[in-house]
Amino acid sequence: MTTELRALRKEDWNVWYDNLLRAFGGAVEPAEERELWKALTPYDRSIGVWDGDQCVGTAGAFDFRLAVPGGAVVPAAGVTMVGVAATHRRRGVLTSMMRRQLDDIRSWGEPLAVLTASEPMIYGRFGYGLATHRLAADFDTARVRLSLPPGTDDVRLRYADPAEVLDVCEAVYARRVPERPGMLERRPGWERVDLLDTERHRDGASPLQCVVAERAGAGGGSEVVGYARFRIKPDWGQAGPEGVVQLSSLEAADPTARAALWRFLFDIDLTQCVVAHRLPVDEPVLHLVSDIRRCGLRVRDDLHLRLVEVGAALRTRTYQAPLDVVLEVEDAFCPWNEGRWRLTGDTKGATCERTADAADLSLSVRELGAAYLGGVSLASLAAAGLVRELREGALAEASTAFLSSGLAPWLPHGF
């Protein structure tokens, strides 16, 4: 097989993107959605593999900023649009793209790469570790009640056109980003993704609706402190209405605004269920429900993370306990990361430099990626045989320091 791997040219985008769609089943995308992804495609950060005039492989890397423990928002390549034509599987196409992509990301000076995987088994061999999970829920609102915090009744809710209140909603989202590791700073154009409202997105439900939460501000005005975007899918059974509220996104600046929005969703007339597919695993509403067993909770994998530059990546986050440990890192795919690194840090910052000192812990870059955002403990990885303790006490020290000191890491939207 003779193939050529090259950067994506604008005139090749349609052929390139059609190969991607075919790799994911060949469904036809609505024009609105296709045009948005075309506008968001980073041409200078995307590559394709070509067999003659046929595109047989695609991969891109969005220019993201990712919240990490400690509140910093750091550069991260958002690996996306990865697909290989079924005619060219098991011929090294994917490996060649991953090789080129990680070399490029390193040359751009970005210490992290992140992705969501259609098939999680694929990316471990390229050094990606599973760093966050997401929660899905089917709240039985006919039977589940909420216990609301004081002040909830002070929050005013109103319907609004999703596009007309986009800016104020985005301001609420932006305030939330540093508070939770794994959240993505919204880059230009990305605010439009959650407003996509094609027939494919509706799947028989209503057009996208939006409710904003407001609180009285200084001088008699009001301030938007939260929002919920959702659709309603009507349904009727023999006993009456059985409609479903399909939650798209919900953000709030404080607990009372969040509680007011959830109460609204639970109380919508002619519905008996609120369905949410992307909640953090520590979603606060779980502490307010009257019956957790009637919430239909399911956890699945979400963000996979790779340290492209070990030293730079480990320096960008903080650590919730004092830490001084030498890591022996294995990284066959990116050998520049191999070897020993002394990581010293606390809640104020960290240093991470190469060292010839004896190692305290031994692990692969995949395990470092899994633990990086603080949602997966090094101790649990060690219990699975994936981290080896070489100095007594080093595992407990490092595991405590790496864990997130606040909210669980969470990816608010896919890419």
As annotated, the binding site for acetyl-CoA includes: 82-84, 90-95, 118-119
Distance CA 146, CA 287 (A): 9
DSSP string across 241-268: E-EEEEEEEEEESSHHHHHHHHHHHHT-
Distance CA 160, CA 230 (A): 12
Does residue 415 have an active-site annotation?
A: yes
Does residue 159 have an active-site annotation?
A: no
Distance CA 271, CA 142 (A): 8
Among candidate residues 123, 126, 173, 266, the one labeled active-site is 123
Cβ atoms within 10 Å, residue 161: 10
Task: Give the chain's end-to-end CA distance (angstroms, integer).
Answer: 31
Distance CA 375, CA 410 (A): 9
Distance CA 177, CA 184 (A): 7
Which class for 225: exposed (0-12), middle (13-18), buried (19 or more C-beta within 10 A)?
A: buried
Determine contact, residues 5/55, Cβ cutoff 8 Å. no
Distance CA 221, CA 214 (A): 10
- 391-to-365, 396, 397 alpha-carbon distances in Å: 19, 10, 11
Distance CA 304, CA 368 (A): 11
351 has which bridge partners? 344
Q: Catalytic residue numbers?
A: 123, 415
